[in-house]
């Protein structure tokens, strides 16, 4: 289960606005696909009505469960389009079964298929009769909304080609691990249905690419634990998305772009430039440039930003330690007390829409301001700092060149924040041996590491919180929602008491947020020990063992709102070793030395 903490809204986030763009008259294939979507939405509505009818007979629990699976399949056939064109309604239909807190503080209660699933598996809950009826009633409304939307919408070929490619990315990242059907457990059948629907849509343009081998691979899978996800991605999914990108080029479709994390022209999730490090800037002008990066790097290693003139950003984020400090918790600026939390890596920090373990900073610029002015961390004053920088002739020249303006008389605080944030954005690097393997180098990973990847994506359940390929908690493939989890981290290693840090609850409130923390990236973690927000675990072996036991609840800690499944994973000694082998293959190569 997941606890989605924030939804970052951009101008063109939901593609609702994009879908209303009228570039030209509707394309002929798009009109035909529109009719297909209307038909599929009506099918979904019919299946939901049948589920409501079946629900009335309490003696037919198995029939009720079978009908529920038909509803899910009907939705999966429609998913590529609903997630792209109608994301807010799609979220109501197949969103997470836990409350969500928006950036604004608004709490959205769970609804839809994933909540319904909890009421009918492994057996229908007789105590949830009214709740179930309310949920099914809302499902009917949402299915009707899908139909009404597609009847009115003017779809375009460029949107459809983008949407179908995104659906394959969705299958790769969260479709093969029972992410949204953890109890009914039909991820392969559902992914096959989704891929079949994508095939039917693309057939309106050309018989290329050939979806059938991938669909067959999903229709006749090995067991959940033995399914070879590495083979599916490299042999089927990557060729499909590459072919779709080629087809889009051949069709000479309009190149409509907007700011998002996953670049629209990415042929696979593993392309060297698939992800946009500037996606979460507030404005286009805030993007990193070579000049900003150079200035930010100089500031990063300068102690001038701290109140006592003795601490720089690099004091806690050391390049030779993957921009961490190797400590359980660093000392505060006085050197007398430990700060509140373990120091996280800055590598790939730009690839997430909110910062800190409690997600309290909506941008890297806000993070910079918070750290510099935090009394424990740097105890600086940004206004005083800008005055010092202005009096320094070298900095005055650098800021004037980097942020040119007429008749400059001072340095703006945002310029300092943006320069430092730009340097952090330059620490975006996805060039591990794992990436080479996914890009086609079959010799980049050893067999043990490939087995570890398949465990990560399957039996070990890691990928239900640390999503491929960034392995952080930003939900693919739209990458606008970032999640936090309650996993029950102990105060002491092998302890039976939860760490007292309340995490998101201290920022957002809500009992479901007690002890919830961002799921940090698994990339480079072999270089960033110790682990967890409190640094309680010294080694990756200890971390894997904690998860294998079912987190805090699995080890005997009382934590009623734990989102991590407390059931043991039952990993063997060899499987644990393979899992760690894979994690080590995620180390990137970053050459950043002090100025």
State whether the Cα torsion 145-148-152-158 is positive or negative.
Answer: positive
What distance in Å separates the CA atoms of residue 368 and residue 485, rounded to the nearest whole number?
A: 24
In the chain, what is the greatest distance between 2 CA atoms, to the nearest angstrom?
82
CA distances in angstroms from 534 to 14, 33, 135, 357, 565, listed in the order given: 36, 51, 39, 10, 21
Q: How many Å separate Cα 124 from the centre of its chain?
A: 32
CA distances in angstroms from 220 to 176, 217, 531, listed in the order given: 13, 6, 39
Q: What is the pLDDT along the chain (595 residues), one digit of tens a residue?
A: 444 444 444 434 444 444 444 444 557 899 999 999 999 999 999 999 999 998 666 557 889 999 999 999 999 999 999 999 999 999 999 999 888 777 666 788 889 999 999 999 998 888 888 999 999 999 999 999 999 999 999 999 999 999 999 999 999 999 999 999 999 999 999 999 999 999 999 999 987 779 999 999 999 999 999 999 999 999 999 999 999 999 999 999 988 888 899 999 999 999 999 999 999 999 989 999 999 999 999 999 999 999 999 999 999 999 999 999 999 999 999 999 999 999 999 999 999 999 999 999 999 999 999 999 999 999 999 999 999 999 999 999 999 999 999 999 999 999 999 999 999 999 999 999 999 999 999 999 999 999 999 999 999 999 999 999 999 999 999 999 999 999 999 999 999 999 999 999 999 999 999 999 999 999 999 999 999 999 999 999 999 999 999 999 999 999 999 999 999 999 999 999 999 999 999 999 877 554 4
Find residue 482's DSSP bridge partners: 6, 474
469: helix, coil or strand?
A: coil
- CA angle at 488 for the pair 482 and 489, rounded to the nearest 5°: 90
Q: Are 176 and 229 in contact (CB under 8 A)?
A: yes
Cβ of 207: how many Cβ atoms within 10 Å? Answer: 9
What is the pTM (predicted TM-score) of this model? 0.94
């Amino acid at each position: 289960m997941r606890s989605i903490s924030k939804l970052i809204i951009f101008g063109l986030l939901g593609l609702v606005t994009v879908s209303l763009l009228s570039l030209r008259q509707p394309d002929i294939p798009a009109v035909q696909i529109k009719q297909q979507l209307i038909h599929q939405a009506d099918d979904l509505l019919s299946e939901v009505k049948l589920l409501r009818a079946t629900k009335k007979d309490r003696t037919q629990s198995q029939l009720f469960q079978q009908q529920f699976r038909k509803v899910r399949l009907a939705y999966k056939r429609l998913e590529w389009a609903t997630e792209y064109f109608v994301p807010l309604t799609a979220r109501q239909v197949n969103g997470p079964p836990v409350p969500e807190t928006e950036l604004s503080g608004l709490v959205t209660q769970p609804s839809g298929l994933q909540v319904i699933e909890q009421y009918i598996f492994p057996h229908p809950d007789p105590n949830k009769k009214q709740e179930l009826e309310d949920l099914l009633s809302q499902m009917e409304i949402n299915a009707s909304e899908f139909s009404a939307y597609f009847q009115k919408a003017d779809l375009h070929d460029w949107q459809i080609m983008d949407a179908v490619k995104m659906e394959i990315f969705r299958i790769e990242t969260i479709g093969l691990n029972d992410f949204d059907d953890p109890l009914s457990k039909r991820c392969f059948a559902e992914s096959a249905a989704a891929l079949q629907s994508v095939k039917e849509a693309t057939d309106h343009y050309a018989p290329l690419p050939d979806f059938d081998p991938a669909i067959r691979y999903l229709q006749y899978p090995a067991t959940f634990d033995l399914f070879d996800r590495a083979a599916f991605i490299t042999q089927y999914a990557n060729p499909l998305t590459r072919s779709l990108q080629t087809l889009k080029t051949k069709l000479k479709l309009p190149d409509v772009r907007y700011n998002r994390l996953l670049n629209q022209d990415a042929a696979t999730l593993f392309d060297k430039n698939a992800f946009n490090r500037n996606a979460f800037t507030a404005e286009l002008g805030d993007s990193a440039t070579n000049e900003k990066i150079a200035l930010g790097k100089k500031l990063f290693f300068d102690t001038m930003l701290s109140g006592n003139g003795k601490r720089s950003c690099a004091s806690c984020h050391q390049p030779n330690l993957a921009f961490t400090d190797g400590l359980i918790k660093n000392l505060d600026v006085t050197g007398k007390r430990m700060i509140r939390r373990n120091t996280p890596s800055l590598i790939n920090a730009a690839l997430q829409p909110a910062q800190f373990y409690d997600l309290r900073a909506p941008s890297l610029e806000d993070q910079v301001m918070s750290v510099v002015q935090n009394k424990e961390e740097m105890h600086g004053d940004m206004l005083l700092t800008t005055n010092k920088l202005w009096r320094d002739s070298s900095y005055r020249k650098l800021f004037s060149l980097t942020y040119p303006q007429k008749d400059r008389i001072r340095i703006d605080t945002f310029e300092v924040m943006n320069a430092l944030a730009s340097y952090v954005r330059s620490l975006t690097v996805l060039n591990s041996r794992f990436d080479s393997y996914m890009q086609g180098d079959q010799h980049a990973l050893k067999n043990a590491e490939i087995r570890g990847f398949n465990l990560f994506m399957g039996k070990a359940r890691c990928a239900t919180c640390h999503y491929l390929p960034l392995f952080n908690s930003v939900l693919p493939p739209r990458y606008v929602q970032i999640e936090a989890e309650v996993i029950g981290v102990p105060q002491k290693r092998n302890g039976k008491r939860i760490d007292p840090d309340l995490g998101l609850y201290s920022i957002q409130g809500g009992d479901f947020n007690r002890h919830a923390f961002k799921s940090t990236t698994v990339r480079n973690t072999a270089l960033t020990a110790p682990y967890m927000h409190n640094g309680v675990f010294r080694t990756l072996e200890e971390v894997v063992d904690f998860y294998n036991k079912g987190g805090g609840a699995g080890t005997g800690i009382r934590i009623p709102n734990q989102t991590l499944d407390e059931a043991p994973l039952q990993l063997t000694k060899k499987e644990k070793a393979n899992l760690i082998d894979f994690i080590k293959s995620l180390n990137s190569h970053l050459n950043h030395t002090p100025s």
